[in-house]
Homo-oligomer: A and B are copies of this chain.
Amino acid sequence: MLLCRVVGMVVSQQKEAFLTGKKLLVCETLEEEDRQKFVAVDMVGAGVGSEVLVSRHICMEGDTYVDDRIVAIVDSVSG
């Protein structure tokens, strides 16, 4: 999983069914080198500015797949 900051939100009308009603957030890795930017489905109530943990794997949720998703809001990172 990657430590990221939420930096934006995607609006889309025309999309696959598994994305209906989901919040699509643009995430940017906190790492300064080789910074990556991608879109993840919010699962935990994150918003722009949140520091989050993102899983970049696909998994099943009942009958549908959920792609890259925000799985935790980070309170703190030690060490």
List residues of A whose CB falls within 8 A of some B CB.
1-3, 6-16, 18-19, 24, 26, 31, 33-35, 37-40, 43-45, 48, 53, 55, 57-59, 65, 67-68, 71-79
Structural contact, A12 and B75, CB atoms closer than 8 A = yes
Copies of this chain, whole number:
5
Residues of B within 8 A of A71 (CB): 15-16, 18-19, 67
Residues of B within 8 A of A72 (CB): 10, 12, 14-16, 19, 24
Known: A3-B26, A71-B19, A72-B16. A9 touches B55 (CB 8 A): no
Structural contact, A11 and B76, CB atoms closer than 8 A = yes
Structural contact, B3 and A10, CB atoms closer than 8 A = yes
